[in-house]
Amino acid sequence: MKITNIGIVDKLTISYILERITQEQIMERYLGIKVSNETLSPSFSLSPFRKDNSATCNYYYTIDKTGYAKLRFRDWDGTFKGDCFDAASEILKIS
């Protein structure tokens, strides 16, 4: 059976997903790090992408032209920088 036969593909957009679950929930699920004041910039946590002995990662928000606050995560050693969909792709090893 093809996935198109169950009617999901037409609806599966970023907007569709974010109407049902928050960016914070996606980040917490895939990175295993709670989004809180303790993990938002300027605070740091350990990297979920590599062995990390020193806290070099944090969450932060960027604001787009429409005023939408996009949650992002950055590993300051250069390993990773992205939003909740980038994080899920990196953890699941999909592009």
Q: Which tokens is 89 given? A: 């792709």
Cβ proximity of 71 and 27 under 8 Å: yes
What is the per-residue pLDDT across 48-94, written as a single tens digit (0 to 9) for each? 999 989 999 999 999 989 999 999 999 999 889 999 999 999 999 98
Rounded Cα distance, 71 and 25, in Å: 11
32 pLDDT exceeds 80?
yes
Residues linked to residue 83 through DSSP beta bridges, in sequence order: 72
The pLDDT of residue 1 is 41
pTM, 2 dp: 0.81
d(CA 8, CA 39): 34
pLDDT in tens, 1-29: 444 555 556 667 898 899 999 999 999 99
